[in-house]
Amino acid sequence: MTYNKIDEIESDAFEDLPNLENLYLEHNNLKRLNPDSFNGLDNLKLLDVSYNQINEIDDDTFEHIAILESLNLDGNFLKKITANMFKNLEYLTTLKLDRNRIKSIDSGSFKHLSDLEDLNLNSNKLEHIDRTTFERLENLKFLYLADNKIDEIESDCFTDLINLTLLNLSKNKLRKIELNTFSYLKSLRYLILNDNQIKTVEPNSFESLVYLRTLLIGINKLTSIDSRMLQGLRNLEVLWFSFNSITHINPDAFHDLESLKLLDLSENKLSEIDAQLFKPLKSASLIRLNGNNLNTDIVSFVNKSWADGRDFWLINIPYLKNLVEENDYLSDWSQFLEQFGNWFLNFDYLLERFLNETFFSLDSETENSKTSDNFRDL
């Protein structure tokens, strides 16, 4: 029933379909959902009403489909999430609300959704997240808040999200990361803070994220990385600082990053780097430094950094060819391309795919695992 011009569903429209489990009504002209329209759908598990014109939902709208597991409301005209909108959906695991016009969420709006695992609020108009927004969502694994207008997050707003695996806050207006913002997210694996206005990260802000594997904080306004910003991140594998204004990195900034495989410092304002900076990165496979103000002494710096005899792991595009030619670990430029060309030539594509598929529009934990595992195997 998709891609039609349905603007209303009459009462009892589906009463003769008691065994129906999936109902697709996306891309129609529905403005309102009538609770009686779902009479008889006692076994409905999935309801997709995305890309309609729904602008409000009554408290009793879903009372007849109480065992629903997946609800898709993407691309509608909702402006507010009210406290009892989803009160009857205690078995819901997936709720998609992206690409609406949501500006506010009443306190406790999701507290009835004790089984919820995947909540998508991307591309709305949210400005503020408070401590009651996500209360009682102990089973939530994926939370998408990208492309909103969030400029403040209360320090205790993620208190109940003890099983959260992925948090996407990219494309917002955050200016500062405070000490306790993420302190309760003990299970977090992926944290995306790209494309905000972050100037300050308080020391030890990420220290409690002991299982974090990916931290993306590019396209912000950071000017330095101090010795305690990344403290405690011993399982971190991917770290992206690209497109900030970083001029200084404390020599001990990466001290705890023993599992890091990919570090992107490209497109900053670095003019010098301490020769010992990358020493702790025992697992690093790729470091990007292009788009900085580093001078030709980079070759000498790299030689010092390779004192332990590790394999090739640094890419600084302006000096890459000279680096290869002036060192005897690779005989010539063609040998470099043969050995490392796939990484070098496909890195931007893979990173873009990684961000888009894994963080912005991920639909399942399975896909998340598959995408991130592929990236990690590069």
pLDDT, residue 327, reads 45
Interatomic CA distance for residues 337 and 343, integer angstroms: 9
Model pLDDT, residue 231: 95
pLDDT at 289: 85
Identify the pLDDT of residue 125. 97
Is-contact 130 157, C-beta < 8 A? yes
- What are the percentages of helix, strand and coil residues in the chain, rounded to 5? 15, 15, 70
List the structure tokens of 105. Answer: 């969420």
Kindly report, residue by residue over 232-273, the tens digit of the pLDDT.
999 999 999 999 999 999 999 999 999 998 899 999 999 888
Q: Which fold has domain 1-116?
A: 3.80.10
Rounded (5°) CA angle 17-19-21 = 100
Of 315 and 17, which is predicted with more confidence?
17
Q: How far apart are CA 179 and CA 117, in angstroms?
A: 26
